Structure 1
Amino acid sequence: MTYYPIIIPTLNRYEKLKACIDSLAQCEEAKYTELVIGLDYPPADKYIDGWKKISEYIETIKGFAKITCIRQSENIGAIKNSQLLEHYALEKYDAYIYSEDDNVFSPYFLRFINEGLDKYKEDNSVMAVCGYSYPIDWKTEKDCVLQHQYFSAWGCGCWKTKEKLFMNEINDNYFLRNFCRKGIKTLLNESPSNFIGFMNYAFYNEIPNYDISRSFYILLNNLNVLMPRKTLVTNDGWDGSGENCIEKSYIDFSNLDRNETESVNVSDVEIIFSKELEAAIFTLKPKSALIKANAKYFLIKLFGLNNIRRIRHFLRRRK
C-alpha cells in the first residue's frame, strides 16, 4: 500500500485542528504518512489568539512520518492556502489526501483512502475517494458505494493526473460548453441541487468552490466517487463555526455515527444513484431556489449565455 500525504489548511481554530490531528494520529498508517499543514496569516486581530495556539501546537505534533508546515507571512485566504498545499503535495506524490481542519476521523480512515487511491488509480471513471459518507440509507449491504451525485471535501483522496485534467476543464468556458450539450437539462433534472448550483454559477460566470465544482464535473461527465457505506468522518464544523456549514436540514450532516470498529473493503462496492441523498441535499436549499434556477435556465435559453453576460456587464457599468 502507498502512503499518500494528508494536507490540512488552517488559520485559527486550534481546538478543531487538534481534534482533527489527534484522530488522524490514531490511524495505524499515520506513522508512514507526511502531514502537511498550511497555516495562513490572520486577516484581523480577532484571529491572532487561535493562530498563535496553532503555531505553538504544530511544534508538538507526533505520530506521523514527517510533519511539514507551510506558513504564510500575510493572509492569502482559504482557497489559495489549499491550492498551495495541493501544489506542494503533487510535486512529490502521485496523489494526496485533503482534509478541512474541523474533521474528526475513524481509525480506519487513512487505510480506506490509501487503498482506494491505489485500487482506482488507473480507473478513469472514478474521480475521487471520499471518507465522509452522507447520513442516509444507501440501501446496500456492500462496504462501499460508487456514486455520481455529490463530492465531499470532508476527508478525500485525489490523484495528480485526474486533478490536472479537471483543472484544465474548469475554466471560463466550462459552463458555456456544457450548457450547449444535448440533453443537459434532463441530466441536471436528475439532481436538482446540482441544477440549482449549475444555473447560479453559469448565470454569474463564476467557478464554484472545491466541492461544488467537483460535484458538477462528476455529474456532467458521469464519473463516480468512492464512499464507504458508513462514514469514516464526522464534520465538527456543523456547529456554525464552519464557513459553509449551516443548520437548516432535517438531516444532521455532521454525521456523528462514525465507523470506529472495522476496516472497509474497497473492493466490496455497489454503484448507486440515491434519491434519498437528493432529497436530503435539496433540503439545504431555499424553497425558491429551484424556481430561480428554472428562470435563469429560461433566460439563458432565450438570450444565450454570452448575451446574458453582456447585458449584466452593461447594467453594472450603468450603475
Structure 2
Amino acid sequence: MELAPIVLFVYNRPALTLSTLQHLSKNREAKDSILYVYCDGPKESATPAQLQLVEQVREIVHSEQWCGKVVVMEALKNKGLATAVIDGVTEVIGKHGKVIVLEDDLTVSPFFLKYMNDGLNRYAHEEKVMSVHGYLYPLPIPSNYKADTFLVHDPGSLGWGTWSRAWSKFEPNTDKVIQQIKEKGLKSAFDFWGAYPFFRMLHQHKNGKVSSWAIRWRATAYLYDMLTLYPVKSLVRHDGNVASATHHFKEEDWLYTDIYQEPIAVEAIPVQNNLPMEKAFAKFLRSNAGMTIPAKIKNRLKKYWRKIIGHA
C-alpha cells in the first residue's frame, strides 16, 4: 500500500528543524516517502537576525535528500502556524487522500513512520476513527492493558496523521464550533471534565488572543464523536518549549517524554473510546498544566510578583 506523504512545517528554528529532519530520515520508510516542507515567511517587522534564521532553516531543508522525494514551498510572507497548517494539510491531503503531519520541534522514533502508516492503513475506512497520533503524555499505562495502542477522543497535535474523509469535517469557523459544542452539551467532556480549559481556548482564538488550528481540530473529534489512535509508548518527543517558540509558556516542559525505540504493533482493538485512558489524560493535565488548586495559586503568585517587579 502507498505510504502516506509527510508534511513538515518550519519557520525560524534551524537547530530544531535539523534535528526533526535527521531523525525522520532514520525511519526505514523515509526513502520511499514524499516529504512536503512548508517554510513560513518572515514577519514584516523581522530584524536582520530574524531574517537570517529564516534563511538558515531553508538552507537546512535544501541541504540533503531527507526522504525519497522532497518538495519545498517557501512563503514570501508570514502566515503563522495555524494558517500554514490548515492550508498545507488541505493541499497535500487533496492530492493524496491522507497525510502525516510534523512541526519543526518534534523528534521522532525510527519506528514512527511504520506506526503511522500501519495506523492509517488499518483505519482508512473506519468512520469512527479520525486520526493517528504518535506522541503520548509521560503517564503510566495500566498494568492490565496489554495492547500496544488505544483509542480516545483527544486527537492531539504532536506528530499525527489523518485522511481526507476526516479532515473534510474540520470547521475553521470558531463561532460555529463554540455554538455547536454548547448545543450538544459537550463543554465538560471537551475540557476533560475541568482538567484543562480547552473551551476557553476556543474563545481566546475567536478573540484573537491565540492562533490555534489544533483547538478546532479537537472540536471536530467531539462534535462528530470520533476517536484517535495512540501508542502506549511515545514515538515522538516535543523539543519546542524554548524561549524562541511562539507558544512558549513555562520554564518546565511537562510535554517532554522519552522516545520509544521499538516498533509499536497496530493490531485489531475494539473501536471504542478507552475511558480509563481518557481519564488518565485528564489527571495528567490537571496535575501538570496548572489546573490544580496549588498550581493555580502558584501561577497567580508568579504573575503578581512579575507585575510588582515590572513596576519597581
Q: TM-score, normalised by structure 1?
A: 0.79
Q: 2:163 aligns with which of 159, 165, 171?
A: 159
Q: Name the count of aligned residue pairs.
A: 283
My pick for the range that moved more, 183-192 or 46-55, is: 183-192
Contact 1:248-1:284 within 8 A present in 2 as well: no
Residue 259 (structure 2) pairs with residue 254 (structure 1)? no
Question: Per-residue displacement from partner, 1:109-128 (whole Å, max 9, x unpaired)?
Answer: 00111111111111111111
Aligned counterpart, 2:69: 66
Letter in 2 for 1:152: G
Aligned counterpart, 2:135: 132
Change (3 A) 1:180 1:200: same
Contact 1:89-1:96 within 8 A present in 2 as well: yes
Aligned counterpart, 1:8: 8
Distance in 1 (alpha carbons) for counterparts of 2:239 and 2:177: 33
Change (3 A) 1:269 1:164: same
Q: Unpaired runs of 5+ in structure 1?
A: 292-319
Once the two structures are TM-superposed, the CA of residue 30 in structure 1 deviates from its matched residue by: 0.2
Identity of aligned residues (%): 22
Letter in 2 for 1:253: L
Contact 2:124-2:163 within 8 A present in 1 as well: yes
Aligned counterpart, 1:313: none
Residue 239 (structure 2) pairs with residue 236 (structure 1)? yes
Residue 150 (structure 2) pairs with residue 145 (structure 1)? yes
What is the Cα-based RMSD across aligned positions, in Å?
A: 2.7
Aligned counterpart, 1:311: none
Question: Per-residue displacement from partner, 1:96-136 (whole Å, max 9, x unpaired)?
Answer: 11111010010000011111111111111111100111111
Distance in 2 (alpha carbons) for counterparts of 1:225 and 1:5: 19
Contact 1:6-1:99 within 8 A present in 2 as well: yes
Once the two structures are TM-superposed, the CA of residue 159 in structure 1 deviates from its matched residue by: 0.7
Once the two structures are TM-superposed, the CA of residue 179 in structure 1 deviates from its matched residue by: 0.9
Once the two structures are TM-superposed, the CA of residue 41 in structure 1 deviates from its matched residue by: 1.6
Aligned counterpart, 2:212: 209
Q: 1:277 aligns with which of 278, 281, 300?
A: 281
Q: Any residues of structure 2 matched to 1:68-87 within 5 Å, and which? A: 68-87=71-90
Contact 1:193-1:285 within 8 A present in 2 as well: no
Contact 2:7-2:101 within 8 A present in 1 as well: yes
Q: TM-score, normalised by structure 2?
A: 0.81
Distance in 2 (alpha carbons) for counterparts of 1:60 and 1:15: 13
Once the two structures are TM-superposed, the CA of residue 92 in structure 1 deviates from its matched residue by: 1.6
Contact 1:128-1:159 within 8 A present in 2 as well: yes
Residue 197 (structure 2) pairs with residue 192 (structure 1)? no
Distance in 2 (alpha carbons) for counterparts of 1:264 and 1:28: 14
Distance in 1 (alpha carbons) for counterparts of 2:246 and 2:122: 33
Distance in 1 (alpha carbons) for counterparts of 2:133 and 2:92: 18
Distance in 2 (alpha carbons) for counterparts of 1:191 and 1:264: 30
Aligned counterpart, 2:27: 27
Distance in 1 (alpha carbons) for counterparts of 2:201 and 2:11: 29
Letter in 1 for 2:32: Y
For 2:103, what is the secondary structure of its paired residue?
coil
Aligned counterpart, 1:18: 18
Letter in 1 for 2:239: D
My pick for the range that moved more, 184-193 or 41-50, is: 184-193
For 2:64, what is the secondary structure of its paired residue?
coil
Q: Unpaired runs of 5+ in structure 2?
A: 297-312
Letter in 2 for 1:198: F
Once the two structures are TM-superposed, the CA of residue 27 in structure 1 deviates from its matched residue by: 0.3
Distance in 2 (alpha carbons) for counterparts of 1:72 and 1:286: 38
Residue 59 (structure 2) pairs with residue 56 (structure 1)? yes
Once the two structures are TM-superposed, the CA of residue 171 in structure 1 deviates from its matched residue by: 4.8
Once the two structures are TM-superposed, the CA of residue 173 in structure 1 deviates from its matched residue by: 2.2
Distance in 1 (alpha carbons) for counterparts of 2:201 and 2:3: 38
Contact 1:5-1:34 within 8 A present in 2 as well: yes
Distance in 2 (alpha carbons) for counterparts of 1:40 and 1:222: 33
Letter in 1 for 2:281: L
Letter in 1 for 2:9: P
Aligned counterpart, 2:113: 110
My pick for the range that moved more, 26-35 or 75-84, is: 75-84
Question: Per-residue displacement from partner, 1:255-305 (whole Å, max 9, x unpaired)?
Answer: 1x2111x211111546522323212212314568xx9xxxxxxxxxxxxxx
Change (3 A) 1:87 1:185: closer
